[in-house]
Amino acid sequence: MKLVIVTAVEEFQKDVLKLFKKANIENFSGSNIDGYKKGTSILMASNWFSGEKIGNESSLFFSFTEDKYIEGLFHFITEFNSNLETNNPIKAAVVPIEKFI
C-alpha cells in the first residue's frame, strides 16, 4: 500500500475526479488549498493589503491504494498533461507506507 498525492488548480478539479475514477481508485479524500509559484514573495512584499489573497485556488487529493491503481493514475495524468494549453499541470507524488492499521 502507498499514499498517492495529487494537486491541481481548481479549474481541473473535475478532471482529477474523473482520472481517479478511470484508474479505479474509488476511495480518496480531497481538500481545497492555495497554491503558490516561485516569485510569490515579491508579490507579498508589494502587497499593501495584507488581507488580500494572492495564492491560486487549488485542490489536493490523496488516497491510500495499491501500486496497480497508482500506475494507471500516473498514466492518465501524464496523458492529460500532454494536452494542456496552460502552465499548470496536474502533479502527483507517491509515498511508501511502512505501517498502517
Tally of structural domains, the chain: 1
Q: Does residue 8 belong to any structural domain of this protein?
A: yes
CA–CA gap between residue 67 and residue 77 (Å, rounded): 15
CATH number at residue 26: 3.30.70.120
Q: Which of 88, 86, 95, 101 is nearest to 35 (CA)?
A: 88
Task: Say which DSSP state 12 is in.
Answer: G
Q: What pLDDT was estimated at residue 36? A: 78
Q: What is the span of the domain harbouring residue 23?
A: 2-96
CA–CA gap between residue 53 and residue 83 (Å, rounded): 29
| C-alpha cell of residue 101 | 492499521
pLDDT digits (tens, 9 = 90+) for 60-94: 999 999 999 999 999 999 999 999 988 899 999 99
Task: Indicate the SS3 state at residue 72.
Answer: helix
37 has a pLDDT exceeding 80: no
52 has a pLDDT exceeding 80: no
| C-alpha cell of residue 86 | 496552460
Q: Does residue 20 belong to any structural domain of this protein?
A: yes
Phi first, then psi: what are they for 8, rounded to 5°? -160, 155
- Averaged over 28-32, what is the pLDDT? 95
Q: Does residue 24 belong to any structural domain of this protein?
A: yes
Q: Does residue 101 belong to any structural domain of this protein?
A: no
